[in-house]
Amino acid sequence: MATGKDEDLALGEVESTVEMAEALRASGVVDDLLAQVDSGEVALTGEGGLLPGLIKLALERGLAAELTDHLGYEKGDPAGRALPNARNGTSPKTVQTEAGPVPLEVPRDRDGSFTPRLVPKGARRLGGLDDMIISLYAGGMTLRDIQFHLASTIGTDVSHETISKIVDEISEEVLAWQRRPLDPIYPVVYLDAIVVKVKDGGHTRNKAAHIAVGVDMAGIKHVLGIWVQQNEGAAFWASVCADLANRGVRDVLIVCCDGLTGFPEAIAATWSQATVQTCVCICCATRCGSCPTATAKPWPQPSNRSTPRRMLRLPVPNSMRSPRRS
């Protein structure tokens, strides 16, 4: 049986995550912990859980290392008595994480100049909890639903006001992105709308997301903006073009769009010299839709022998045959 010294040596020699997992499994510590989790003696997440306990140990050890680096001497070193600053106990603090609430003992110094970076002052949430809240909100959950979901799944009690503040901060960043300045010239701009499902007033509704994609002078595509409206219309596209012009787009060479009625006029109202190019897919769909069904013929099946597709001869309608010479 391996001794504790041998186990420490084995853990210190690992070089990858897989090797670390194998070393922990070989030590038997993980099996004992997981057995307690399976029996219900120890919770995996939530208050008093295994993962929050491991996070607590890691964070407090990192905070202690930061304070040592700030003071310039190790804890218990007699050389620290000659220095003007010293350790001054700890302060209790609870942070919310993806694994649940984690109570911490944050170390302090005597003159109050220590500013931890691992757990900044005033921080109450760590480890991607904000990203989880934003993801749930983007999925259509209300603030109350998010609060109940976090409490029931990971045991994290986040107030309604905190969740609302997180969402508002993201909304401000989205608004700043929508109003950011753009390049003065884009050789090509794509304008199109896609129908998406949006949760509005407790109901899921179909709305048109108007998307503008511009190709800059280096040939790189950029999403210039996204505007959500109830339905797609030329009048709203005119306001989109005006918004792009107000954000700095002075000229566009080619605008690719679909065959919406009034679309070219809406574009010309902002960029009068731009060339409006109808999307090739729209052109093909329009041409195919105008073909009479009665004249449609099935695609000829290839023979048993392997004949290249380019050598297949397709039937030519009588209307397209050239007149025979007399």
Q: What is the pLDDT of residues 232-245, one digit of tens each?
A: 888 999 999 999 99
Last residue of a domain, one of 69, 100, 130: 130
- Higher pLDDT pick, 232 / 126: 232
Please report the pLDDT score of residue 324 as a whole number: 56
296-308: pLDDT as tens digits: 666 666 555 554 5
Count Cβ neighbours within 10 Å for each residue of 86-101 and write b for 16 or more, e otherwise.
ebeeeeeeebbbbbbb
Please report the pLDDT score of residue 288 as a whole number: 63
Half-sphere exposure at residue 50, Cβ-oriented, CA atoms within 13 angstroms: 14
Domain presence at residue 90? yes
Domain presence at residue 280? yes
161-214: pLDDT as tens digits: 878 877 777 777 778 888 899 999 999 999 998 888 877 766 778 888 999 999
CATH label of the domain that carries residue 205: 3.30.420.10
Percent of the chain with pLDDT over 90: 16
- Is the pTM here over 0.75, yes or no? no
Q: Which of 21-30, 130-139, 145-154, 284-293 has the lowest mean pLDDT?
A: 284-293
Q: Which of 7-11, 34-38, 179-183, 269-273 has the lowest mean pLDDT?
A: 7-11
Domain presence at residue 70? yes
Residues 18 and 125 in one domain: yes
Residues 40 and 94 in one domain: yes
User: Which residue range is the domain that position 86 belongs to?
Assistant: 4-130
| Residues 122, 34: Cα–Cα separation, whole Å | 34
Residues 103 and 140 in one domain: no
How confident is residue 9, by pLDDT bands cut at 50, 70 and 90? very low
Q: Which DSSP string do the residues of 9-25 spell out, in sequence order?
A: HHHHT--SHHHHHHHHH
Q: Indicate whether 312 pLDDT > 50.
A: no
- Higher pLDDT pick, 63 / 141: 63
Q: Averaged over 259-277, what is the pLDDT?
A: 89
The strand ranges marked E within 46-119 are 87-97, 100-109
Residues 38 and 108 in one domain: yes
Q: Indicate whether 254 pLDDT > 80.
A: yes
Residues 8 and 89 in one domain: yes
Name the residue type at position 300. P
Instruction: Please list, in sequence order, all residues whose beta carbon lies within 8 angstroms of the beta carbon of residue 90, skipping any fewer than 6 positions away.
Output: 105, 106, 107, 108
Is the Cα dihedral 165, 171, 176, 179 positive or negative? negative
Q: Which of 58-72, 219-233, 282-296, 303-317 has the lowest mean pLDDT?
A: 303-317
pLDDT, averaged across the chain = 78
Q: Which of 144-148, 203-207, 212-216, 309-313 has the lowest mean pLDDT?
A: 309-313
| Residues 253, 25: Cα–Cα separation, whole Å | 64
Q: How many domains does the chain have?
A: 3
Please report the pLDDT score of residue 63 as a whole number: 85
Residues 77 and 166 in one domain: no
Residues 172 and 76 in one domain: no
Residues 98 and 18 in one domain: yes
Residues 104 and 10 in one domain: yes
Q: Indicate whether 249 pLDDT > 80.
A: yes
Q: Which of 264-268, 273-277, 283-287 has the lowest mean pLDDT?
A: 283-287
Tokens found for residue 45: 């997440």
